[in-house]
Amino acid sequence: MQRREFVTLLGGAAAWPLAARGQQSSSKIPVVGVLWHAGSENEEAINLGAVRQGFKDLGYVEGQNIKLINTFAAEQYERFNANAAELVALPVDVLVAVTAPAALAAQRATITIPIVFVGSIDPVQLKLVESLHDRAGILLD
């Protein structure tokens, strides 16, 4: 998958829960919490820039109609638990997890906040999802 397709997919997947919640309260700016594996914004600059551009392409501009809260685990995966709990406590409208360990930490932290994850090799085996079929029975790729 090309980076642009990845960003569009990530942005679209993350924006879907925001659009649904936006129908409930149009005055609230949606908050997206991101669980990054690197140590800082500088280390994630390329990916973070791509995510920001993906949201912008969908009409979401950081600081105007969306808020991104980025957390960084510095390759210490046990930090994902604390970072996910911190984001849930804020609270955020959606969690984005960029690795399987981040997705598992997000799953442990909440059962009510939607989680968008990328970088998981087998989400069924990890029990992040029940199947790779959507509710209509269509295989997702």
* pLDDT of 138 strictly over 70: no
> pLDDT tens digit string along 44-74?
999 999 999 999 999 999 999 999 999 999 9
The rounded radius of gyration (Å) of the Cα atoms in the chain is 14
Q: Please indicate whether residue 69 or residue 22 has the higher confidence score (pLDDT).
A: 69
As a whole number, the mean pLDDT across the chain is: 82
Distance CA 121, CA 60 (A): 29
Q: Percent of the chain having pLDDT more than 70?
A: 72
Instruction: Give the model's confidence band at 1: pLDDT under 50 very low, under 70 low, under 90 confident, else very high.
Output: very low
Structural domain spans, the chain: 3-117
Alpha carbon of 124 to those of 13, 34, 100: distances in Å? 18, 22, 11
Domain at 3-117, CATH from 3.40.50.2300, 2.40.30.30, 3.40.50.150, 3.90.1200.10:
3.40.50.2300
Work out the average pLDDT over 117-136: 69
Phi and psi dihedrals of 59, rounded to 5?
95, 5
**Burial class (CB within 10 angstroms; exposed 0-12, middle 13-18, buried 19+) of 43:** middle
Q: What is the pLDDT of residue 131?
A: 74
List Cβ<8 Å contacts ≥24 apart for 2-6.
Answer: 3/50, 4/50, 6/50, 6/118
